[in-house]
Structure 1
Amino acid sequence: MHQFNKVEMVKFTKPEQSYQALEGMTANAENILQKLNLPYHVITLSTGDMGFSAAKTYDLEVWMPEQDIYREISSVSNTEAFQARRARIQYRDEEGKLQFVHTLNGSGLAVGRTVAAILENYQNADGTVTIPEVLRPYFGADKIVPEDTL
């Protein structure tokens, strides 16, 4: 067992909008990685690798240079009407007929893995870690300096 802290994204859509919503949710996670200037790629999972309820899933993987590998940092899925049928989540269409919504869910970014990716990708030869530009206003410094070098 392990703990995995993350922000979860959930969306209910009309069926005809669900795949556009999937692309938008994936773009939201990508946007954060781009702002952090972290190397990543997006993988479309094969049906054998997807969860039971998913119709389509994207995994976002971030480069971890110390491990020399890309690691999953986010996963975004369209479950179409699968979860809505089980939970009986419906809406009325333009003719007043009940229809099942499509549900989508995904992890924003895994917090611990994001921090590890920042540390690994921004570490300097002298042991300092350069803070990504986008985080500097919140961090209050340009670098993390190890205590033994102070």
Structure 2
Amino acid sequence: TPCFRAEAGSYGRDTKGLFRMHQFLKVELVKITSSIDSDDQHELLTNHAQTILEALKLPYRKVRLCSGDIGFSARHCYDLEVWLPGQGAYREISSCSNTGDFQARRMGLRYRPSEKAAATDVNGGGKKKKAKKPKPELCHTINGSGVAVGRALIAVLENYQKPDGSVVVPEVLQPYMG
């Protein structure tokens, strides 16, 4: 997905080069799920982004952000930070948020849970009554960036550079080289 960052008055070391570009590409990951599966699906979505970093054999860490560091719509948020030797620091390469029903509430995005197959015995007297149709419930939304492409390139270049300045292409990418 092409993304655009408009930051008037930005300054500092991250304003030039590949790390903080005004236009960049990233892969968006989105899940729409039930409230019951929400947390498990958030973990799964985060694992998808981790799989990319693991395939590239890049050193990274998973950080759960505190409430002061996440967007106002998020319930939980993980940042994946990749090690950049040139900066001597871990830097964000992916962020995955569970927004609960926050976005769904604004969109009116609902689903109807499946009906129970079995009839229920209402009074124990053998009378069976069909289960009531479940009420619609708000969906939960989960979103994240798969990996910021430019930042992944920086991480590959910095982590795979040899002392002579050449770069070893990660094994997983070698089949794509000409």
Decide: shared fold, TM above 0.5.
yes
Relative to its length, the structure with more helix (as a share) is 1
Deviations 1:102-125, CA, capped at 9 Å, x for gaps: 000000000000001000000011
What corresponds to 1:137 in structure 2? 175
One-letter code aligned to 2:157: L
What corresponds to 1:118 in structure 2? 156
Please tell me whether Structure 1 or Structure 2 has the larger radius of gyration of its CA atoms.
2
What corresponds to 1:146 in structure 2? none
Specify which of 92, 104, 107 is matched with residue 145 of structure 2.
107
Return 5+ residue gaps in structure 2 as ranges. 1-5, 7-21, 115-132
Deviates more, 1:32-41 or 1:87-96: 87-96
Separation in 2 of the partners of 1:26 and 1:119? 24
Specify which of 3, 8, 24 is matched with residue 44 of structure 2.
24
What corresponds to 1:37 in structure 2? 57
Separation in 1 of the partners of 2:134 and 2:69? 38
State the Cα RMSD in Å: 0.8
% identical aligned pairs: 55
Specify which of 32, 35, 39 is matched with residue 15 of structure 1.
35
One-letter code aligned to 1:78: N
Deviations 1:90-139, CA, capped at 9 Å, x for gaps: 00123331110000000000000000100000001111100000000012
Instruction: Within 5 Å, give how 1:62-73 maps onto structure 2.
Output: 62-73=82-93
How many residues of Structure 1 are paired with residues of Structure 2 in the alignment?
140
One-letter code aligned to 1:72: E
Shift of residue 65 of structure 1? 0.3
One-letter code aligned to 1:11: K
- Runs of 4+ in structure 1 deviating by more than 3 angstroms, as ranges, are none
Return 5+ residue gaps in structure 1 as ranges. 141-150
One-letter code aligned to 2:40: Q
Separation in 2 of the partners of 1:32 and 1:96? 39
Deviations 1:11-33, CA, capped at 9 Å, x for gaps: 00011001000010111100110
